[in-house]
A and B are shown apart, each in its own frame.
Chain A
Amino acid sequence: MKVLLSWLREFAPIEGDPAELADHLSDLGMAVEEMRMLPPLDGVVVARVAGLRPHPEADRIQLVDVELPGATGEGTGGALQVCCGAFNMTEGDLVPFATVGTTMPGGLVIGERRMRGQLSQGMCCSAAELELGADAEGIMILPSEFELGAPLMSQLGLAGDVLYDLEVNPNRPDAMSVAGVARDLAARLGVPFRIPAPVVSETGEDVSTVASVEIIDADLCGRFGVRVIRDVSIGQSPLWMQARLTLCGMRPINSVVDVSNYVMLELGTPNHTYDLALVPGGHLGTRRSAGGERLVTLDGSEREMLRGDGLIVDRDDRPIGISGVMGGENTEIGDSTTAVLLELAWWDRLSISRTSQRLGLRSEASMRFERGTDHELVPIALDRFCELLDRVTPGGVSVCRGRLDGRGDLPPTTRVRVRPARMSHLLGRPFSSDELRGLLDPIGLQCTESDDAAPRGAEPDDGALEVTIPSFRPDVVTETDVAEEVARHYGYQRLGRTVPRSPEPGRLTPAQRLRRDLRRVLVGAGLSEAMPNPFLAPDAVRRAGIDGADPVRLLNPLATEESVLRPSLLPGLIAAAAYNSSHRNDSVSLFEIGVVFGPPSAGDADTAAADTSAAAVLPTETEHLGAIWAGGEAADAVHLTELIATAFGLRLSLTNANDLDGMHPVRAAQVLLDGQAVGVVGEVDPVVCERHGLSQRCAWLQVNVEPLLAAASAAAERPYRLVSTYPSSDIDLAFAVPNGVQASQVRSTLLASGGDELRSVDLFDIYRGDQMDPGTRSLAYRLRLQADDRTLTDEQVADIRQRCIDAVEHAHSAVLR
């Protein structure tokens, strides 16, 4: 929202340093995104085009003789000569002229120079060059009543003006107008604010004889004001109006459209004009569409209405506009229009919001209607329109007597009970009733002493106020909303600062601490943390060899490449490995701890449909650890598994498996935590690697984090096992073991049969070769035996040894070598 300081001053005597005013505006919640001091541009003056001559050397430039009092130059008859690239001037026109030495808004300094051999002694300016408008093509042609030789900005009424670009929050419909901003700022500065009453001389017939209004759906339209203006001649609006509109971001079109926009900017009341001649009987009706109706809007598009959309209809119930959004082409104002039917209505916010969003027709008007306009301004804004159109139309217009004022459902006046104690509690500083009144009355929140003695709520009611909320603040409905107004006008920065203390000390949960530890174990093992996109292309899942999963789809993805939620960390991490490989980093090791998604876990469809609890409808989310070693082998992943087990005191074991999604058919295993499958380890299927352009092996580990951390949390409490002071004995056992038996199984058997005195079992040698029977390999284990309370005798050691041998031979068809 852009506002000019000069415009604000039409509503309140706002004085002071423009930068300080900007601080006030920001502090009031209308953040100044940009403040522009309009340059005084004293060097740009009103000059007359005395003659136009072709440039002898160039077609695209002409020579202009510029008449400026007190200046003589190289032009015809002693006028200044200017080379100019625009051809829209005619002899006698007044134009803005930048004299030599002037610094233009863009920083350019005008100097005397030659263009293709011809002297140029200044510059005729376009609106764009002066930053007063968008037109960069032609030179600005000034009104003939402008004073020759006078500074342009003073003639435009813009000298010393300041343009503020404000960011207005959605809950401040009032701040969507010059008047509303002025009201807030005046309250802060302690100066009076008022909206001047427009003066309309009504010279036409009674409006009710030429127009009528019918509100068919009262919940759609709360108020529908109409005026009729005759003797309209459509032309250009005056430059001061064009300049204000341009500076505030609206493009000047013609006098009627410009006045319409001017009133909207000034009072926050969008309005619409119809060519009276095109509206049968001057009748305007408004109702909701039953759906299916069609209308060509002002932008030339045919729009189809849905049930509930607001429509303006004519006497024959024919749609001629979309309520609060856009008018119809069939009643549009044109050059031949002489009588204008002016509509100024108050619409239901949600209806406008729904329709404008659906049609993609967000406009300055719909934006204001959505936030809520002030229905009490309807008659004032109608009059203001007439007053302005009369002023800008040469010869004036004729306004029909009276206004039509159709009424539908308007929101009732809100009254809020405001307790000083509650305000003080919420804002952390004592506020008395008087102080509250002093802050609220100036912004139109009228305070009276509450006569309702019934206490409500926990706060004491002493000095409670009844605050009547004005129609321009539909956002203020509760006591808390009033607290914000109090805080805003008192000043957020002036409220104190205190620090509340939690009765409990702050801390991470055990799982949160252990997750941090886990990340550090991984980093210590040489892996770097990646954060791949959790959105995947449907194809990426299959490319990663994951066939079983039915990934959760997005309903409105930005792109197909990002249309499903990852069911696994593998697609993202292998893509990351491939990305690095393609950038000449072939052997990266990456990990991620992140969520993977699956379909909702709710049981059968019948009961699930009825169960709308969050747990039943939400997709499953499982936190996984994924780790990938580009160029790594299965052993890398197995070692990390062991490292994690050691770091957290976990019993992790592996079971070879050859049908795991995305995994190497013969180099993969399931990771078991206390016998429960919690992940997979090994190498990625070479086919999958190849599909990603990776020619080397990739080691892979994936573990479900939650059970891991839960077990780690439990293991963190593990009791101390006394370090035995008695000597230990080592025995080495080598077995010929069939290939079908996992080394880990042999180990488990050894551990299970060795008894309490068997302290550790380490696989220290593996042999495959000629000396072995086909289908077997040699696995050599070192067993360390030790007792807590005695030195083991040779006999006892021999005994344990035999038990272990017997158990392994018996359980695994293995043979001691």
Chain B
Amino acid sequence: MNGPATDTPASTAADVSPEALLASIDAARGEGLAAVAAAATSDELTQVESTLFGRKAALGQIKQGLGSLPPDQRAAVGRALNEAQQDLRAAHAEAADELAASARREQLQREWLDLTETPPGPERGHLHLVTQTTERLEDVFVGMGFTVSEGPQAETDWYNFEALNLPAAHPARSMWDTLYLDLGERTELGDGEGGEASNVVLRTHTSPVQIRVMEVQPPPIYTICPGRVFRRDTADASHMPVFHQIEGLVVDRGISFADLAGTLEEFTSAYFGKAISSRLRPSYFPFTEPSAEFDITCVICEGAGCQTCQRTGWIELGGCGMVHPNVLANCGIDFEEWTGFAFGFGIDRLALMRHGIDDLRDMYTNDIRFLSQF
């Protein structure tokens, strides 16, 4: 250990003279500075520190002897003592800073890293495009005051057809190629007209959910029914036997066709943006009257006319209309008091349009090279 004068015999109060004290202060200062300068590591510096300051340090001991000086001489010695102490503190602080900086330089040198060397870490997965699209649609409608309703995918003939004003043998049943379930003796497929209300089909639309809502919930009703639907269609670029639809239903007092048009317009600009608007054209569905086809401005050309919209500037999105009085009556709702509207369109096609996917089948290969793009 190379400390300052800790082992220097302490002067006794009796034989001190100011000159001697000043000399020993000077000596202690010199030794202290040398010791600080000699400390090569922060540990060494810490050890040095303990010998420089405090009562047992050389300067500390001199300070203790100050009291024996005559009062008129104390000031000069005291000042010298303070100055020496300040010098040592400054030197120590500087040395400490320098040592810390150099330690940090060494550490940084050791820790140098090329961050682009990092091997791939854990990956995040991807939500299916259908889920992403459904959630976006739900969010828009929830923002417009709608709830989200769900129901079974296998349905009775009643819920899928009859309650929707499609009695057995209704010619419009041929608008849907229906898949029937084989549930043993109770099943009667018959001649493709359907019939038995208890026949079980895979729902061809999510409209049965509307019926189920109206059966249990008294109006007012503002709800959407997104979900999986089934058709007896061979898969091709624009058809799948299994796909997804979203339908909406509003039943309230005084609901009019204008409410339908306004609601669809609000949805259109909320979902597609202000540049896209909607229009309604007369159409036919057994469960609505008046019925309409729901077109939106072509999202590709924004109405200017292009290949996608066959130069009309419009794209057919779905169907809609005022809920048929028979449908309301089937659900026990008085159609004189309550009126309503319903609409529906495909979810899958919106996803295709948004991302420029040409073939619907690509969405269902479950190929990670597809899934991980979205």
Contacts and interface: CB of A to CB of B under 8 A. Distances in A.
Among A528, A534, A558, A590, chain B packs the most CB atoms within 10 A around the CB of A528
Interface residues of B, number: 95
A493 B277 CA distance: 12
B303 interface: no
B131 A558 contact: no
Given A501-B145, A555-B189, A562 B125 contact: no
Given A169-B283, A618-B155, A426 B187 contact: no
A28 to B, nearest CB: 7
B289 to A, nearest CB: 5
Interface in B144-163: 144-148, 150, 152-156, 158-159
A350 B125 contact: no
B367 A579 contact: yes
A723 interface: no
Nearest to A597: B154
Contact of A500 (B147, B181, B252, B283): B252
Given A350-B169, A528-B125, A599-B183, A506 B142 contact: yes
A618 B156 contact: yes
Nearest to A627: B125
B205 interface: no
Interface string A644-670: 000000000000000000000000000
Contacts of A504: 145, 147, 220, 222
A478 interface: yes
A349 interface: yes
B339 A497 contact: no
Given A533-B364, A600-B183, A484 B155 contact: no
B305 interface: no
Interface stretch (A189-197, A288-296, A387-395, A507-515): A507-515
Contacts of A576: 366
Interface string B267-287: 000000000000111111000
B154 A621 contact: yes
A33 B190 CA distance: 35
Contacts of B258: 427-429, 495-498
Contact of B290 (A27, A484, A502, A508): A484
A553 B284 contact: no
B192 interface: yes
Contacts of A535: 241-242
A29 interface: yes
Contacts of A609: 185-186
A534 B203 CA distance: 14
Interface residues of A, number: 96
A428 B291 CA distance: 15
Interface stretch (A68-76, A353-361, A401-409, A724-732): A353-361
B222 A502 contact: yes
Contacts, number: 270
A716 interface: no
Interface string A422-449: 0001111100000000000000000000
Given A495-B258, A496-B261, A617-B198, A527 B125 contact: yes
A478 B286 CA distance: 13
Contacts of A457: 336
B198 A480 contact: no
Nearest to B227: A595
Nearest to A34: B310
A450 interface: no
Interface secondary structure of B, over-half rule? mixed
Contacts of A526: 122-125
A606 to B, nearest CB: 12
Among A458, A480, A498, A500: residue with most chain B CB under 10 A? A500
A588 interface: yes
B169 A353 contact: yes
Given A457-B336, A504-B222, A621-B153, A498 B262 contact: yes
A590 B189 CA distance: 37
Contacts of A358: 191
B222 A480 contact: no
Q: Which of B171, B202, B293, B322 has the most CB atoms of chain A within a 10 A radius of its CB? A: B171
Contacts of A508: 138, 142, 147-148
B259 A580 contact: no
A487 B282 contact: yes
B130 interface: yes
A31 B281 contact: yes
Name which of A488, A588, A609 has the most chain B CB atoms within 10 A of its CB. A588
Nearest to B283: A169
A48 B169 CA distance: 58
Contact of A529 (B127, B252, B291, B336): B127
26 contacts: A29-B283, A349-B171, A350-B169, A357-B174, A425-B254, A478-B289, A480-B324, A484-B291, A488-B282, A493-B279, A498-B259, A500-B255, A500-B262, A504-B147, A506-B144, A506-B146, A516-B135, A526-B123, A528-B371, A533-B364, A555-B180, A555-B189, A558-B232, A588-B368, A618-B152, A621-B153
Interface of A: 26-29, 31, 169-172, 349-350, 353-354, 357-358, 370-371, 425-429, 457-459, 478, 480-481, 483-484, 487-488, 492-493, 495-509, 512, 516, 519-520, 522-535, 552-558, 562, 565, 576, 579-580, 583, 585, 588-591, 595, 597, 599-600, 609, 612, 614, 617-619, 621
